[in-house]
Amino acid sequence: MITITPIPALSDNYIWVLQKDQQAIVFDPAQAHPVLDFFAKHSLELTACLLTHNHNDHTDGVAGLLERYPDLVVIGPQETAQFANQILQPEQQFGLLGLSFEVIESAGHTAGHISYLVDREYLFCGDSLFSGGCGRVFTGDYSAQFAALQRFKQLPDFVLVYPAHEYTQSNLKFAEAVMPPSCILLEYQERADILRAQHRPTLPTTIGIEKQINPFLQAVSLDEFIALRQQKDNF
């Protein structure tokens, strides 16, 4: 049985823990101590650390994890080579904990950003896709980011999406400003507000939901995506 749990970190990060029995994997450890505390509390064995891209709020915890687990397998794209001891390429496939992992190219936020599709059911997408939004295109390569979103749109609607930040409420405010009124968007906003009032995550979301409430996934052309992304940058 698979269990996926968010460990809150920094101001709005989630470090996702994928657990199977007493073995587990962490994604994008922003900090080490909350991970170490969680693993100690639940008597888990840390099997691997997976990175999506090279930003401090996704990699700063790696050093601390390696201090505690010197033989830890750290996996990531080429841009994380200073942290990772196994480097992956887009479309590469591998296995961990008896699960299948597929690497999805999702550049734009950074030049080498990747995402992980686990068992064709769980998408760990770092900062490339958020609920109701997508990452800032720091590279200026809007074409790469738009292409990443098109790849995500091809995934089955049932795929669960695990972004690395709790940005849902602010993203939905922008979605409300640029999309036609809809019952699903209103209901999703209300759900997000209730969950956050209870200090609970709004995530995961699903590809099916995002195709209905995420304006960036609804953009039908690169030009439309660029206009939306630049509008969101100044929203």
Q: Which two tokens stand for residue 159?
A: 């795929």
- CB 164 within 8 Å of CB 27: yes
Phi, psi of 60 (to 5 degrees): -65, -20
109: annotated binding-site residue?
Answer: yes
Which residues have a Cβ under 8 Å from the Cβ of 60 and sit 6 or more positions away?
29, 30, 31, 32
Annotated ligand binding at 55? The verdict is yes
The answer to the question of whether 71 is labelled as a binding residue is no
In whole angstroms, give the CA distance from residue 30 to residue 53.
12
Q: What is the DSSP string of 4-38?
A: EEEEEETTTEEEEEEEETTEEEEES-S-SHHHHHH
Residue 33 is labelled as binding a ligand: no
Q: Is 199 annotated as a binding residue?
A: no
Residue of 199, 202, 226 whose CA lies nearest to 215: 226
How many residues in total does the chain contain?
A: 235
Is 53 annotated in some ligand binding site? Answer: yes
Token pair 């994997």 is found at 25
Annotated binding site: 53, 55, 57-58, 109, 127, 165
Annotated binding site for Zn(2+): 53, 55, 57-58, 109, 127, 165
